[in-house]
Chains A and B, each alone.
Chain A
């Protein structure tokens, strides 16, 4: 679902950017080109107007390429913006003074779209676009002052074109920016919802697992209590061992506290439960801290020998896990006779080192992984 929403957000960004390019190109071909060629004779210097049209087209092509690739305006826009404003000046210079506000002077209404493309989705697009449009309006106003075109009708025409053009260009840029922002918000929200969902799912699984184990212990406790009520002797070593085993399982449940199940701990817990079903008395102090990320194969090598010792335990076992950011050590002390023991430490290819030690009917199996230290 997140992928779909992210794709929609990316499409919003891309197609609104290309929308600006399409408007500018259509305007430039449909209006600017038509006016330039059909009104060729009305220009004072038509070749200058044609050159300006070409420069405009080049700038638009560069900006379109950037929008196509990155859905954002070019990285460096200062030179391109100056060139775009030069197009404005060139077309004014190409026109006769009396046509300054006439149909032939196409540039001042249309370069604003170049500004929109160049500043598209840049970090400071509002300031940059406002400055560009203000410069465009200022150039036209200066030309009117220089040519003395300051009568009421001319000023009214000027205001209509400037306000109309600017409103369209700013409105399109701001509207698309809002759409883009909402789409990004939707992506963030979707990601947060997905994370919450994953957490909820994980918490539910842990909770369900605990309930299942509490149920199992409740059954064991119930049968013990019934046995005692029926006259079992509390001094009987078997009854006492069963009571101790039940208390240990309860204690472990109470002190467990990981929010996210770790695969190494989960695998160990599964074997601990299997041993307990075989009436093995297992002690396993709670694991603290966080396990580091383990490379491929390390977890299996860490678990293999200790789990074999645990599976072979006759009546009691102690399971411990020690972890630091650079080390994980898993150990089992159990009363097992079956496990083949080597005097020398076993070095696994994954870097895990396994050691065995037998003492007074018990075996201590310890596998340790240490994060390889960086070479000199």
Chain B
């Protein structure tokens, strides 16, 4: 901690663009990001196109826009290096894995989101640090696809307990370890997951920061293209 990362300098607020088609949610998010605060909402619209062209550190994206799922748009948004945080009620592991594979930095489930957890995730993502929300923990821990990352038993247990318990402190008590160690297990699992999926500029930043923080060693990063990712790419 305290090292200089590729992410946003601490001096200015993190800028966020929001894509959300429900006004009640927009109003709620706006109230969470009220100035002065660590996060500033600089653009908002009901479609992806309505915020394209806006420079923002993080794009907060609802997956279901006017009845259409936009999971397949995540990869193209991440390809330009835009950090994406998905904000959706579709917390099922398959959907979470699909957006993480496409390069999204984090997934916030609408069912359990609070102002504090949302701000924490956005700040971590803006700093290119590993961020693991409960739906992400569940999706990474229960991944059984052929090219899944090899998690240790403790990393997997920490993820599952984080998803199912009340706090990381309770996970620490359950596992008989320090809370700091729980965070390490969870962050390391997230980094392994990023390294095992489709290469994306946003994931590269996360991996570089993880190496800077000593979370992993450079030789541990073996990026390859997963089967799921390959199917969407051009041949040759």
Nearest-neighbour CB distance to chain B for A290, whole angstroms, equals: 11
Residues from chain B with a CB closer than 8 A to the CB of A248 are: 111
A283/B112 contact (C-beta < 8 A), A251-B89, A289-B142, A324-B144 known: yes
A288: which of B92, B166, B170 is its contact (CB, 8 Å)?
A: B92
Kindly identify which residue among A289, A322, A329, A364 contacts B166, using a CB–CB cutoff of 8 Å.
A364
Q: Which positions 125-147 of chain A face chain B at CB distance < 8 Å?
A: none
Option from A252, A257, A285, A362 in Cβ contact (under 8 Å) with B138: A285
Stretch of B48-56, B157-165, B215-223 lying at the A interface: B157-165
Q: Which residues of B contact A357 (CB under 8 A)?
A: 165, 170, 173-174
The distance from the CB of B140 to the nearest CB of chain A, in whole angstroms, is: 11
> Which B119-176 residues have a C-beta within 8 angstroms of A?
134-135, 138-139, 141-142, 144, 160-161, 163-167, 169-170, 173-174
Q: Given A322-B160, A331-B164, A289 and B111 touching (CB < 8 A)? A: no
In chain A, residues 342-376, which have Cβ atoms closer than 8 Å to a Cβ of chain B?
Answer: 355, 357, 359-360, 362, 364, 366
Secondary structure class of chain B's binding surface, majority of residues? helix
Asked if B110 is an interface residue, CB under 8 A from chain A, the answer is yes
Whether the pair A285, B109 counts as a contact (CB closer than 8 A) is yes
Question: CB distance B144 to A320 under 8 Å?
Answer: no
Question: Who on chain B is nearest to A366 by CB?
Answer: B164
- In the bound complex, residues from chain A placing their C-beta under 8 Å from that of B111 are 248, 251-252, 283-285
- Which 6 interchain pairs have the tightest Cβ spacing? A331-B164, A288-B92, A288-B93, A285-B91, A320-B164, A286-B92
Ordered by A's residue number, 22 sampled pairs between the chains whose C-beta atoms are within 8 Å are A251-B111, A255-B92, A285-B134, A285-B135, A285-B138, A286-B90, A286-B92, A288-B93, A320-B138, A322-B164, A323-B142, A324-B142, A325-B144, A333-B166, A357-B165, A357-B174, A359-B166, A359-B169, A359-B170, A359-B173, A364-B165, A364-B174
Binding site for A on B (CB under 8 A): 89-95, 109-112, 134-135, 138-139, 141-142, 144, 160-161, 163-167, 169-170, 173-174
